[in-house]
Chains A and B, each alone.
Chain A
């Protein structure tokens, strides 16, 4: 079920009313209801893949129970590896099998050997990478004794399948989300209103910014040989806003919806396009995934300890695996590698933690230096997105060479110039309010709080009108495919 669908507009109020008015008296029943609602939410897309979530849930639940009872380190390690192997096998089969098969065939053909490997015609289960990482983190944390495994199966299953964040994150850690299923939920009026506000901004990001930018990004990327360098660069910028609006919009809606039910999810985006270097960008972009890789891969590999070579190796592995997590295509691997190459100079010169606080924290506008740094970071990030969006590597390279051609100063006009101007205007509107609200958890968290409440309400109505009038054609969320 898509957040931006009429189905969800019916589903959410129904679940909300039953949750608070019917099941509110009993925590166990409330958790069971969340589980049922979450499974309905997922089954709306394809009920057959519920079995995968159910299997992962049962597996990691029992792995947790066995880990609780097992003191012997060797046995504990075996249990952990069972969890890792089974979970990653599902991911491997559904997401990566065809990629490895194709790569294998191509590698052999380089040596003049033709081999045949049957491709699997499988549908990629929505959100498999998200819930797999979520359950994996549970097993790993239990193994590391950071978490006491729960005996409450319903609570655990609800944690794995919690519908607001099931298909596109934020990837929650059991240490944060699971305990919330054991505490009697109290409806907090202010928190719920804040949740609604965050949802409103999330819908704006998705339906106005992302979906409108998608129209142009798709048009330009799909016909890249017909456009000048300047338009190709514009296409990459449209995609940069599309993916940010799409994914951070989803996260905002997920966090907001969770608040309506008395849950607090982790923040997933912190104004990444205002970053002053790529290291800061990666601390602000898809935070739940970056910290997952940091905690479970980077630190396990040794982190920043050891020789320079080892540090470089660790960074390269983390970024490449992170790219590969996004999809079974060399373009994603290359996207990860490019970001690693942007990041490494900062790490080697120990400048990767220069910018920990938000830019211009104490002033209205950034200094000239910060402005240049933000612009530079945005441009290199945007160029890296070309790999992420391109169909294949040759498309990515031809797109980039198109940008860096003499036509970089030539504008190819579009048929509907008023519409593209409107989209650019909306992007500017968006950036201005993101800038104004950059000190908050999300842009409009405290916007117009010092003003008359009608000013604030007026702004919310404006956002509603913009969503209604300017919302692009309904599109699915990009991160569903991951």
Chain B
């Protein structure tokens, strides 16, 4: 008799827990959709990365020239200058702080939902082939990853998320109060800021920050590892593009001249770009010795040009590739 009572009591307890959690279960998915839909419309969240993702998933990208790379791509290549000069629509897919593994994922998503470009400009940088420790700006994929098999298949790339993030509504938003707050701000119509990027680009109206001098005080030189898997992925990407009729151009945009000695194996990295370009018969344009690199007024730190520098560079670059892009 006692056993039956025990079981009855446990079942009653479980039933009450279920009833208590029922509203949470029922509301989890709509709440997730509410946060995601509003977050993806934010024009300032995660340094404007949401704008690019949303353009991709809305199929709004109509570009013949696509620019790939890290933050150097994002702040160095102005699509509007390229468009004016080349008369071809352009879009900048530069991803702040992320290497080619992430860029490749974005590339696949872009091709899946949009018309393919004719040209892809690869903006090279010294960390392009280096393995990431984590996932910088990891919240940029939050609105899109739930029940999304593309993201789940690539979960090795997004290591900060565990597998529950892909299947349990709201789970990935737990503790992410910046994201929830930003979604609410957008939903309430309180987001008044200007879009952080236009066609993926935003010139940085900044002066030299002095960060490089601070870094030099901490370390005399750094060495950057080339990850063979990332290099192989990059080669696979080129082969895929060539098979698809997309022309790839590799560009090393200007960096502050004083920075060159800071990376001990800089030549090894630029030689990697050169050898890949030779192997696949690609154009490789190296601007690291360009006159822009010698004027500190064109930069806000050692690897990033400010608005003035980037506009000067994009104009020069557009003129240089006129013969290549027809």
Contacts and interface: CB of A to CB of B under 8 A. Distances in A.
Does B associate with A?
A: yes
Interface of A: 6, 20-21, 24-25, 186-189, 192-193, 196, 207, 211, 419, 422, 457, 460-461, 464, 468-474
Given A24-B6, A186-B2, A187-B9, A470 B164 contact: no
A185 to B, nearest CB: 9
Interface string B175-192: 101101000000000000
Interface string B1-45: 011001101101100110010011000000000000000000000
B209 to A, nearest CB: 16
Contact of B175 (A6, A464, A472): A472
Contacts of B9: 187-189
Contacts of B2: 186
A186 B6 contact: yes
B152 to A, nearest CB: 16
Interface residues of B, number: 23
A457 B17 CA distance: 12
7 contacts: A6-B171, A21-B10, A189-B12, A193-B13, A468-B175, A469-B175, A471-B174
Contacts of A457: 20
Contact of B177 (A187, A460, A464, A469): A469
Nearest to A186: B6
A187 B13 contact: yes
Interface in B123-179: 162, 164, 170-171, 173-175, 177-178
Given A20-B7, A186-B2, A187-B10, A471 B20 contact: no
B7 A189 contact: no
Contacts of A474: 175
Contacts of A422: 177
Contacts of B10: 20-21, 187
Contact of A187 (B6, B23, B162, B173): B6
Contacts of A419: 177-178
Given A21-B7, A25-B3, A473 B175 contact: yes
Interface of B: 2-3, 6-7, 9-10, 12-13, 16-17, 20, 23-24, 162, 164, 170-171, 173-175, 177-178, 180
A186 B10 CA distance: 10
A22 B201 CA distance: 61
Nearest to A189: B9
Nearest to A6: B164
Contact of A464 (B16, B17, B24, B162): B24
A196 B175 CA distance: 21
A192 B170 contact: no
Contacts of B16: 193
Name the residue among A189, A207, A419 with the largest chain B CB count within 10 angstroms.
A189
Nearest to B28: A468
Given A189-B13, A468-B174, 7 more contacts: A24-B7, A187-B10, A189-B9, A196-B17, A422-B177, A461-B23, A470-B177
B175 A207 contact: yes
B146 to A, nearest CB: 16
Contacts of A192: 13
Contacts of A472: 175
A20 B11 CA distance: 10
Name the residue among B12, B13, B170, B171 with the largest chain A CB count within 10 angstroms.
B13
Q: What are the 8 closest A-B residue pairs judged by CB atoms, nearest first? A: A471-B175, A187-B9, A20-B10, A189-B9, A187-B6, A187-B10, A192-B13, A468-B174
A10 to B, nearest CB: 10
Contacts of B12: 189
A24 B164 CA distance: 31
Nearest to B164: A6
Given A187-B10, A189-B13, A469 B3 contact: no
Contacts of B173: 468
Contacts of A193: 13, 16
Given A20-B6, A24-B6, A470 B13 contact: no
Contacts of A196: 17
Contacts of B20: 457, 460
A59 to B, nearest CB: 36
B29 to A, nearest CB: 14
Contacts of A6: 162, 164, 171
